[in-house]
Amino acid sequence: MINPHGGRLIGRVLGEDGRAEALERARNLPVLKISDESISDVENIATGVYSPLEGFVGKADFRNILNEMRLQNDLPWTIPIVLDAGRDEADGFREGKDIVLQSAGGRPIAILHLEEKYEFDRDELAEKVFLTMDRAHPGVAKVAAMRDVLLAGPIDLLEISPTPFDRYKLSPKETRILFKEKGWKTVVAFQTRNTPHIGHEYVQKTALTFTDGIFVNPVIGRKKKGDFKDEVVLASYDELIKHYYLKERAVMAILQMEMRYAGPREAIHHAIVRKNFGCTHIIIGRDHAGVGTYYHPYAAQDIFEEFPDLGIVPLFFRAFYFCKKCQSVVNEKICPHPPAEQIQFSGTKIRDLLVKGQVPPPELMRPEVAKIIMQFENPFNE
């Protein structure tokens, strides 16, 4: 089994005794309300998804991540996992003391053992992580809205928050045991935020041909307007796997994590996360984790050159399409026919057909998948 990033799977979910004691102590601790995205970060730290992080990063790691895409100990790490607070709030917190992190509704989520408070430059953070300062970029807009002070230190999670998708929620410990139980030595991860079309299936099955199993890992959480709703993505993949995959070769579980749309840097982050789940390979397609035209279509593949020590093997896919002459999904390396024979997998085109209540042609989408999507009154985020 592939080692977790940094060699050890982090586990910071308190057991029953620890939780009771922490909740008792929490009554007298200062409180910070955190967003749903930060709650996901806390859970990802605590369950080992972000191993080797044990908490929100301190200033030295933050600077190293921005400048070198590595933690201070030289481990690859490209997205700073940080927790922001208002200046007034932060003034009330003392380094070396604990804080209770609460949901917006007042539910205690975790204890933050505050080690450090520091300020940061929003423009620098945006430019280095997103390679742009354009506020039209959703990641940059989020950075612009961040509060002034970053709080750092290890966290202890009180308990994992329930979601409507708990049936699909597995921790890295659970996926590692699952892969072992299935006898998979090599596992390819497929990151998605979309319903599957035939092109996705082609990529997944091509990768699966050379590995023991595939881990379909949809990202659940804040997404862009117009993206498919989480429940639609899950239902459509359930249907695809049921009809077109061998049960013993495919597993789907969710990843609750905010999409940051940081293109190349986020591709590395996605790879690290899947390595922690126990995957040995990850599919990286065209414009992975990109948005608009901010990144070169293959920047998210090229960046892997800089990380020979990542541990997980990226599988790169370039353009693929349905060729009318070949009568199959092909790519530019294997199909000699001209563009007139090509049918592109256009998400917009598929979406338009679905919105009109029309089933996309079978060379674009499996009819079973289309039918499931069309059962939802409004399958898209508003």
Residue for token pair 């993949």: 237
Binding map of other proteins across residues 247-276, x = CB under 8 A, - = no contact: ----x-------------------------
Binding map of other proteins across residues 46-85, x = CB under 8 A, - = no contact: -----------------x---xx-----x-----------
Q: Least distance from C-beta 146 to other proteins, angstroms?
A: 22
Angstrom distance (rounded) from CA 36 to CA 18: 24
Residue 115: CB partners within 8 Å, gap ≥ 6?
55, 58, 95, 96, 152, 153, 154
Neighbour count for residue 275 (Cβ, 10 Å): 25
Q: Which stretch binds other proteins (CB under 8 A): 80-88, 118-126, 303-311, 341-349?
A: 303-311
Q: Least distance from C-beta 10 to other proteins, angstroms?
A: 11
Q: Contact at 8 Å (CB) between 157 and 14? A: yes
Tell me whether the omega of the peptide bond preceding residue 52 falls within 30 degrees of 0, making it cis: yes
- The angle formed by the CA atoms of residues 33, 35 and 39, to the nearest 5 degrees, is 95
Q: For other proteins, which is the closer residue by CB, 73 or 375?
A: 73
Q: For other proteins, which is the closer residue by CB, 306 or 341?
A: 306
Q: For other proteins, which is the closer residue by CB, 39 or 250?
A: 250
- The angle formed by the CA atoms of residues 206, 212 and 215, to the nearest 5 degrees, is 75
Q: Least distance from C-beta 230 to other proteins, angstroms?
A: 18
**Residue 196 CB-half CA count within 13 A:** 28
Binding map of other proteins across residues 306-325, x = CB under 8 A, - = no contact: xxxxxx--------------
Q: Residue 167 interacts with other proteins (CB under 8 A)? A: yes
Q: Least distance from C-beta 340 to other proteins, angstroms?
A: 36
Q: Residue 356 interacts with other proteins (CB under 8 A)? A: no
Q: Residue 170 interacts with other proteins (CB under 8 A)? A: yes
Residue for token pair 């409180």: 31
Pick from 200, 271, 208, 211: which is nearest to 236 by CA?
200
At 138, list the tokens.
């959703």
Tell me whether the omega of the peptide bond preceding residue 367 falls within 30 degrees of 0, making it cis: no
Q: Residue 31 interacts with other proteins (CB under 8 A)? A: no
Q: For other proteins, which is the closer residue by CB, 182 or 185?
A: 182
Among 16, 305, 377, 382, binds other proteins (CB under 8 A): 305
Q: Which stretch binds other proteins (CB under 8 A): 86-94, 170-178, 279-287, 330-338?
A: 170-178
Q: Least distance from C-beta 166 to other proteins, angstroms?
A: 9
Q: Least distance from C-beta 74 to other proteins, angstroms?
A: 7
Angstrom distance (rounded) from CA 257 to CA 83: 14
Q: Residue 182 interacts with other proteins (CB under 8 A)? A: yes
Tell me how many residues contact other proteins (CB under 8 A).
27
| The pairing of beta strand 213-220 with beta strand 255-256 | parallel
Q: Contact at 8 Å (CB) between 332 and 175? A: no
b/e for 175-205, b at 16 or more Cβ within 10 A? bbebbeeeebeebbbbbbbbbbbbbbbbbbe
Q: Residue 1 interacts with other proteins (CB under 8 A)? A: yes
Q: Residue 173 interacts with other proteins (CB under 8 A)? A: yes
The phi and psi torsions of 92 (rounded to 5 degrees) equal: -85, -5
Q: For other proteins, which is the closer residue by CB, 160 or 326?
A: 160
**Residue 85 CB-half CA count within 13 A:** 24
Q: 141: phi > 0 → left, psi -120 to 50 → alpha, else beta; which?
A: alpha
Q: Least distance from C-beta 212 to other proteins, angstroms?
A: 15
Binding interface with other proteins (CB under 8 A):
1, 3-4, 7-9, 63, 67-68, 74, 167, 170, 173-174, 176-178, 181-182, 251, 305-311
